[in-house]
Chains A and B, each alone.
Chain A
Amino acid sequence: MILKIKSKTEPYLYSAPALIVIALVMVLPIIYTVYISFTNMNVYHWKDFKFIGFKNYQKALFMLDSGFLMAFLRTVLWTAVNIILQLIISFLIAVLLNVKGLKLSKLYKTFLMFPWAMPGYVSILLWKMGMFNTEYGFLNHLLQKLGISKINWLSGNFTAFVSCIILNLWLALPFMIMIIDGALQSVDKCYYESAKLEGANFWNQTRYITIPLIKPIIAPMVMMTLFTTFKQFDIVYLLTQQNGSKTGADIHTVLTYAYENAFITNNYGYSSAVSIIIFLILLVYSIFNQKDIRGEA
């Protein structure tokens, strides 16, 4: 009897410490944010804030000049461009790494993993100051050597957006290459042999054998990457928005937009509403792609 009760309570006991910490650090802030999102908390109403219903949500979703919708569209574009480029480039590189007879492929792989191994935000700052800097950045040195005039990378909207994408690719490609490389190696070689016998060319092999076979393996990782790309904050923030060193480019994604409203202009109620909208969008997305995200569990 005692044994039975014990084995019933055990799993709760084992997971309780972790779940309590998660409840405090992750769940409580979400509930609090929901609560604040219905109030007018801001610099002027720091303590004496009151309920204002759905006004913050209305402002974000229906006032076109609030900036949220623009930021949202930009974030969708940002995510789409990044994921598509990542998939194409890493697929090509992974296929080339697996070419028969490429003896140094292990060595190349190690070097190509380097950006992943660097602490992410150190890389971002190095890129900001080493590569994109107008005065002494590497890219502008290169342009000058080629006889082209300097570009102010981070201050124009378009160049800043492109710069952020280049940097994100640099940071994210290694992981994707590794995943696709692993998936390619798990494909049974005999499929290709029989395809060759039937005269299928490389394109057809890729389309009818490789892609269908690696799709289920890389799908969860692609979903995860989509998620993290949508939520990417550090790149855009550190490159263009950083407090005290704004570059002038306005390429807010939803996250930097919400962050600025909360901590720079201290519009907490509104920023909380934006946070909850982002949360709901991602929530709906993950519910739809649940199977892919959780794998087999």
Chain B
Amino acid sequence: MKNKNNVKSTIGLVFLNIFFIFLCVVTLVPVLYAFSVSINAKNDFLSSNFSFWPKEFTLKHYKSIFLESNFLSWVKNSIFLAVATVLGGIAFSVPAAYAFSRRRFKGRSGILYILLMLNAFPTVLSMAAVYRLLRTMGLINTFTGLIFLYIGNMIVFGIWNMKGYFDTIPTNIEEAAKIDGADDFKIVLKIILPLAKPSIVVTATLILIYVWNEYLYVISFITGTSKYSLAAGLYSLQVNEYTRSWPAFSAASLLISLPILVVFFIIQKHMVSGLTAGSIK
């Protein structure tokens, strides 16, 4: 009886493994196909006798991306925008999240509520208003303007996400530190930040991914492709010349994704706790 059950569950597991291998392959097909096209020396993706495995390999499409005069400046711009927005976003939202988590003051729950409701307005549609705002501030066609918009769009999420996590940290350590004479700045730096690491890492990563992905603001407010970010650059490649350089486009797409993939998988273990601490207990 027991043996029979074992055989049955072994066969079940074999099928389950086959199913998951198939599922993983299907999931990865878009990326694998792009990779295969990007290293294929023959342009046979247009013909019907195309094969998934390239018969000849080449790196020329990757080379052509780097030789493409603007690519390196897009990389530079994206890194600059991402780093500045992440630092700014965290610097703005940590003190606010701390205040909302630890203090009780007039208007607290009202403000928190409004912040949440702001998510209901689709930011894509505020483009015209945002344009007026940037023009008034003299920030059209500047990175400062972009960073300002990115920070504004992301700190609502940052405040809520980190506040949720701060709420789960017991206050007794802070109280002890306070008796020892530590001020708020010290408490946040020495106690909250180390304890809230998962949520800060996850918030920072999601801000980074947002900036890395954002193209609408850039193509609307920045003139001259040399000042584009990677996302906007890829967008312009795709609009203008993709039909003749789909392999180069694939190569560029994969290169752009690589840093995000690496960061994502490094922090993956924090992802669940860092995102859901506020709602899951």
Binding site for B on A (CB under 8 A): 7-8, 10-12, 14-15, 17-19, 21-22, 24-30, 32-33, 36, 93, 96-97, 99, 101-102, 104-105, 108, 110-123, 125-127, 129-131, 135-136, 138, 141, 144, 170, 178-179, 182, 186, 217, 220-221, 227, 231, 233, 242-245, 255, 258-259, 262-263, 268, 271-272, 275, 278-279, 282-283, 285-287, 290, 293-297
In the complex the two chains form, what is the Cα distance from A118 to B99 in whole Å? 34
Q: A30-B121, A297-B167 are in contact. Are A130 and B105 (CB under 8 A)?
A: no
B199 CB–A CB distance under 8 Å: no
**Are the CB atoms of A27 and B118 closer together than 8 Å?**
yes
**Are the CB atoms of A121 and B231 closer together than 8 Å?**
yes
In the complex the two chains form, what is the Cα distance from A24 to B19 in whole Å? 51
**Are the CB atoms of B253 and A125 closer together than 8 Å?**
yes
Q: List 25 A-B contacts (CB under 8 A).
A: A14-B184, A17-B95, A17-B96, A22-B155, A22-B156, A25-B151, A32-B129, A32-B132, A93-B23, A101-B9, A108-B20, A111-B24, A113-B265, A117-B268, A120-B209, A122-B234, A125-B249, A131-B29, A136-B45, A217-B279, A231-B122, A279-B121, A282-B120, A294-B279, A297-B160
Q: A114-B31, A130-B30, A286-B117 are in contact. Are A11 and B105 (CB under 8 A)?
A: yes
In the complex the two chains form, what is the Cα distance from A263 to B96 in whole Å? 35
B1 CB–A CB distance under 8 Å: no
Residues from chain A with Cβ under 8 Å of B61 in the complex: none
B64 CB–A CB distance under 8 Å: no
Residues from chain A with Cβ under 8 Å of B143 in the complex: none
**Are the CB atoms of B124 and A283 closer together than 8 Å?**
no
B84 to chain A, nearest CB (A): 14
Identify the closest chain B residue to A245 (Cβ). B239
B62 CB–A CB distance under 8 Å: no
**Are the CB atoms of B27 and A21 closer together than 8 Å?**
no
Residues from chain A with Cβ under 8 Å of B126 in the complex: 26, 29-30, 32-33, 275
**Are the CB atoms of B103 and A11 closer together than 8 Å?**
yes
A43 to chain B, nearest CB (A): 13
- Of the candidates A99, A131, A296, the one whose C-beta lies within 8 Å of that of B30 is A131
Q: A112-B27, A170-B27 are in contact. Are A129 and B246 (CB under 8 A)?
A: yes
**Are the CB atoms of B261 and A117 closer together than 8 Å?**
yes
B153 CB–A CB distance under 8 Å: yes
User: Interface residue count for B (Cβ, 8 Å)?
Assistant: 93
**Are the CB atoms of A19 and B31 closer together than 8 Å?**
no
B123 to chain A, nearest CB (A): 8
B267 to chain A, nearest CB (A): 10
Cβ < 8 Å to A, chain B residues 92-127: 92-93, 95-96, 98-100, 103, 105, 108, 111-112, 115-127
Residues from chain A with Cβ under 8 Å of B151 in the complex: 21, 25
Identify the closest chain B residue to A230 (Cβ). B122
**Are the CB atoms of B231 and A26 closer together than 8 Å?**
no
Surface stretch bound by A, among B69-77, B169-177, B190-198, B270-278: B270-278
Cβ < 8 Å to A, chain B residues 242-281: 242, 246, 249-250, 253, 256-257, 260-261, 264-265, 268, 271-272, 276, 278-281
Known: A179-B272, A279-B121. 19 other contacts (CB 8 A): A14-B96, A15-B95, A17-B95, A26-B118, A30-B118, A32-B126, A32-B129, A96-B19, A114-B27, A117-B260, A120-B209, A130-B30, A135-B46, A182-B280, A262-B125, A268-B128, A272-B128, A286-B120, A296-B278
Binding site for A on B (CB under 8 A): 9, 12-13, 16-17, 19-21, 23-24, 27-31, 33-34, 37, 45-46, 48, 50, 92-93, 95-96, 98-100, 103, 105, 108, 111-112, 115-130, 132-133, 148-149, 151-153, 155-156, 159-160, 163-164, 167, 184, 209, 212-213, 215, 231, 234-235, 238-239, 242, 246, 249-250, 253, 256-257, 260-261, 264-265, 268, 271-272, 276, 278-281
In the complex the two chains form, what is the Cα distance from A263 to B112 in whole Å? 32
**Are the CB atoms of A295 and B155 closer together than 8 Å?**
no
**Are the CB atoms of B45 and A21 closer together than 8 Å?**
no
In the complex the two chains form, what is the Cα distance from A11 to B103 in whole Å? 7
Residue among B19, B24, B122, B234 with the most chain A CB within 10 A?
Answer: B122
- Of the candidates A99, A129, A258, A295, the one whose C-beta lies within 8 Å of that of B278 is A295
In the complex the two chains form, what is the Cα distance from A41 to B126 in whole Å? 15
**Are the CB atoms of B261 and A118 closer together than 8 Å?**
yes
A130 to chain B, nearest CB (A): 5
**Are the CB atoms of A138 and B29 closer together than 8 Å?**
yes
**Are the CB atoms of A233 and B105 closer together than 8 Å?**
no
In the complex the two chains form, what is the Cα distance from A25 to B127 in whole Å? 10
**Are the CB atoms of A283 and B96 closer together than 8 Å?**
no
**Are the CB atoms of A123 and B30 closer together than 8 Å?**
yes
Identify the closest chain A residue to B151 (Cβ). A21
Residues from chain B with Cβ under 8 Å of A126 in the complex: 30-31, 34, 250, 253
**Are the CB atoms of A141 and B92 closer together than 8 Å?**
no
Q: A113-B268, A170-B27 are in contact. Are A122 and B116 (CB under 8 A)?
A: no
**Are the CB atoms of A21 and B124 closer together than 8 Å?**
no
In the complex the two chains form, what is the Cα distance from A242 to B216 in whole Å? 12
Residue among A15, A138, A296 with the most chain B CB within 10 A?
Answer: A15
Nearest 7 Cβ contacts at the A-B interface:
A25-B152, A295-B279, A29-B129, A29-B126, A282-B120, A117-B264, A15-B96
In the complex the two chains form, what is the Cα distance from A242 to B239 in whole Å? 9
